[in-house]
A and B are shown apart, each in its own frame.
Chain A
């Protein structure tokens, strides 16, 4: 392979490195070639700028509980002697803060987060002024008894389904999956997460796990899919539907 071919190969592998798709053999090849051609952050930077530009068109909202947790963790530590900080080294302040904040996290996170979906649903209904409730209706004769409702808050990007009379599934064979139809966002429904209905449950509360930001949901659709869910549903088995 001449120098030009090696450079071309290096560039392709470097792009793969930035995209995170190198397998072990390619990574070893990239490492070898990078010894000759060098490596910098330029392509990483381009990929990051592209991703930021595309995401910032429709970014997700950092959940308030997560933002609050982060802010607590990075809150300034209690005043300390500056001189001793310099002598010991700049990292020590961080280390101490990390330890203190680690304790804070454990305490505050577990004490402030309602522990069950039922409780978190109650909190959402109580605190989210924009929480909308939509009833589920059966979508096929096989699920004629399906009942329930969905509660969703656009501002908090949080929601829950309360479901009853939906047959229990065997997670090793099939799993239920929620789809959120948001025409304002895209024609492709947003994956709302895979879930199971346990045997013997009369009514269950399922947290919605929207993989992308949802702005103005027009409908919530439950389908039955292969274990782990699918990227795009063929809608072969549609269980229930909630429309706004």
Chain B
């Protein structure tokens, strides 16, 4: 796990700290996330996700659940458990995926990109985004949702190998 902590500690910490603005709680949650990574890493498939994407997905879910708990909202289901985290490796082909992702992000309307930056990179809540941009709260919510769906559609058109096409759902 040392290699995993070295490789992904900054990513997990970034995801957690921007949502959990209490340092002590952030440290506890980071520990829980690495525990879950340890337990679910058997599910990691480099053909489906990048390693950082896999780690980010767990961290995001945990952080969102933490936020929902604070707001007394129902939590989401967690991933099934399975242990044995692989050592970080350079996976062939991931660079191409990242390029596709950047292309998709760059193809989004300016306003959606701005909302993505505020939400995904800076970790602002919808209310904070509304305050920062002057957009109504409902518009922030709707535009972020539609932006995510639009990004998926763009990736599908770019022929990305991530299984993100809704028509491929079985």
A, B assembled together = yes
Interface positions of A (Cβ within 8 A of B): 11-12, 15-24, 27, 37-38, 40-63, 66-67, 69-71, 73-74, 90, 94, 209, 211-213, 230-232
User: When chains A and B are docked, how far (Å) is the Cα of A54 from the Cα of B124?
Assistant: 14
- Inter-chain contacts of B53 with A (CB < 8 A): 45, 48-49, 52
Instruction: For the complex, give the distance between the alpha carbons of A49 and B50 in Å.
Output: 8
Which of these, A38, A42, A211, A232, contacts B163 with CB under 8 Å? Answer: A42
Q: Is the interface of A mostly helix, strand, loop or mixed?
A: helix
CA distance A212 to B54 in the complex (A): 22
Flag whether B122 is at the interface (Cβ < 8 A): yes
Flag if A44 contacts B61 (CB, 8 Å): yes
Is there an interface contact between A62 and B60, defined as CB atoms closer than 8 Å?
Answer: no
Q: Which residues of B contact A (CB under 8 A)?
A: 1-2, 5-6, 9-15, 17-18, 21, 23, 27, 30-31, 34, 38-39, 48-50, 52-57, 60-61, 64, 67-68, 73-74, 76, 83, 97-98, 101-102, 105, 116-117, 119-124, 126, 128, 131-132, 141-142, 144-146, 148-149, 151-152, 155, 162-164, 166, 169-170
Instruction: Give the contacting residue for A94; candidates B83, B120, B132; CB below 8 A.
Output: B83
- On chain B, the residues within 8 Å of A16 by CB distance are 141, 145
**Closest residue of A by beta carbon distance from B74:** A27
Q: Could you show 20 A-B contacts with beta carbons less than 8 Å apart?
A: A12-B142, A12-B149, A16-B141, A19-B148, A21-B141, A42-B162, A43-B148, A47-B120, A49-B97, A50-B148, A51-B121, A54-B116, A54-B120, A56-B52, A66-B30, A67-B9, A71-B1, A74-B38, A94-B38, A94-B39
Contacts of B14 in A (CB 8 A): 55, 59-60, 213
Question: Are B2 and A74 in touch, CB under 8 angstroms?
Answer: yes
